[in-house]
């Protein structure tokens, strides 16, 4: 069984579990929306400033929402010692990594598909034509988040104060992604195109590729006992 087929099998299993319990998706979803509301009270979101603040606010919302998802990511493996069952099997660690990262990506994309247009509506942004570029940047950034986040989620799986430790180790490493996505989005919302900020997209792509590869190679060591 190849790496990809194993990954697909695990992804099928996680998707099935999520469809049944909908633990993660709904929580992430409502949390993301809740954050938008809180931002409205926390910041002065005047109509003339909202376009500049949008990328930062959106990304803050996604970071926190995504972290919720990451914290839940290995829940099915924590019950009934199921991680042991996977370690026992001929499963390649890289396949588990791909499956979990993809699963978190799916959840986050679903949340983003709703939250971004909702943000546009709630704050009266008229830049509907720019949504495709915004989604592209968000997607690349989310991939980076999920890839690195899955690694960190697994690393901190058996640590104490896990919910606190996970953001602590993850967020500093995420700074390239945060900067890249927000700067890119700012440029898009300001001028309608990427312009000279296109270099950020390349950085994002590089980030995604590097840590995806690293994750696949290294994950066996991450999950061992």
Partner 1 sequence: MRVTVDKLAKAFGFLWALRDLNLDLAAGECVALLGPNGAGKTTLLKLLGGLITPTTGAIRFDNATFSRGVPELRARIGLLAPADHLYENLTAKENLHFFTQLYNRNSVAPTLDAALEQVGLLQRGGDYVANLSSGMKCRLSIAKWLLLQPELLLVDEPYGVLDGSGVDLLESFLKQQCARGGIIIMASHHVSRVLSLCNRAVILSHGRLTFDEAKQRPWPSFDKAFSEFLPHGGS
Partner 2 sequence: MTEQLQPIHKRKGILGGLALAAVLFSLCWSLAVAPPDAYQGEVQRIMYLHLPSILIAYLSYFLVFVGSGLYLWKREKRDDILAHAAAELGVLFTALTIIEGSIWGRPTWGVWWTWDARLTLTAILLLIYVGYLMLRSLIEDENRAAVAAAVLGIIGFLDIPLIHMSVYWWRTLHQPPSILRPDKLPWENVHPSMLTALTISFVSFLLLYFYLLSLRYRMGEMRQEIIARRLERGA
Q: Which residues bind partner 1 (CB under 8 A)?
A: 1, 6, 9, 13, 16-17, 20-21, 76, 79-82, 84-92, 220, 224-225
CA–CA separation, 34 vs 46, rounded Å? 19
Q: Toward partner 2, which CB reaches closer, 32 or 93?
A: 93
18-57 burial by CB neighbour count: b if 16+ within 10 A, else e?
A: beeeeebbeebbebbbebbeebeeeeebeeeebbebbbbb
Give the chain's end-to-end CA distance (angstroms, integer): 24
Binds partner 2 (CB under 8 A): choice among 62, 97, 120, 211: 211
CB of 127 closer than 8 Å to CB of 82 = no
Q: Which is nearer to partner 2, 85 or 210 (CB)?
A: 210
Residue with tokens 């890289």: 94
For the CB of residue 4, give the shortest distance to partner 2 in the complex, in Å.
23
Q: Pick one of partner 2, partner 1, none as the site partner of residue 201 (Cβ within 5 to 8 A by kind).
A: none
Instruction: Out of 84, 114, 158, 209, point to the residue binding partner 2 (CB under 8 A).
Output: 158
Alpha-carbon gap, residue 198 to 184, rounded angstroms: 7
CB 45, min distance to partner 1, A: 40
Contact (Cβ atoms closer than 8 angstroms) between residue 103 and residue 14: yes
Residue 148 as a binder of partner 2 (CB under 8 A): the answer is yes
Closer of 34 and 209 to partner 2 (Cβ)? 209
Q: Which partner from the list partner 2, partner 1, none does 26 bind, CB cut-off 5 to 8 Å by kind?
A: none
Asked if residues 151 and 215 have their Cβ atoms less than 8 Å apart, the reply is: yes
| String marking each residue 188-207 x if it binds partner 2 according to CB under 8 A | --------x--xx--x--xx
How many Å apart are CA 172 and CA 144, to the nearest integer? 13
**Minimum distance of partner 2 from residue 225's CB (angstroms):** 7
The residue behind tokens 């495709």 is 132
């Amino acid at each position: 069984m190849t790496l990809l087929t194993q990954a697909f099998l695990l992804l099928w299993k996680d998707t099935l579990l999520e469809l049944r319990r909908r633990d993660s998706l709904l929580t992430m979803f409502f949390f993301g929306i809740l954050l938008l509301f809180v931002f409205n009270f926390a910041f002065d979101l005047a109509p003339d400033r909202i376009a500049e603040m949008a990328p930062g606010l959106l990304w803050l919302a996604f970071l926190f929402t995504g972290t919720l998802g990451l914290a839940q990511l290995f829940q099915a493996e924590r019950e009934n010692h199921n991680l042991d069952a996977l370690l026992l099997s001929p499963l390649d660690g890289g396949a588990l990594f791909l499956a979990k990262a993809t699963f978190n990506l799916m959840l986050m994309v679903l949340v983003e598909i709703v939250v971004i247009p909702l943000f546009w509506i709630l704050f009266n942004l008229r830049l509907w034509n720019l949504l495709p570029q915004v989604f592209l940047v968000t997607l690349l950034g989310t991939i980076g988040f999920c890839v690195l986040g899955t690694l960190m989620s697994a690393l901190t799986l058996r640590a104490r104060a896990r919910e606190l430790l996970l953001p602590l180790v993850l967020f500093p490493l995420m700074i390239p992604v945060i900067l890249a996505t927000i700067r890119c989005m700012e440029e898009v919302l300001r001028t309608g195109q990427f312009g000279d900020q296109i270099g950020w997209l390349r950085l994002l792509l590089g980030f995604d590729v590097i840590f995806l590869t690293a994750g696949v190679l290294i994950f066996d060591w991450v999950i061992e006992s």
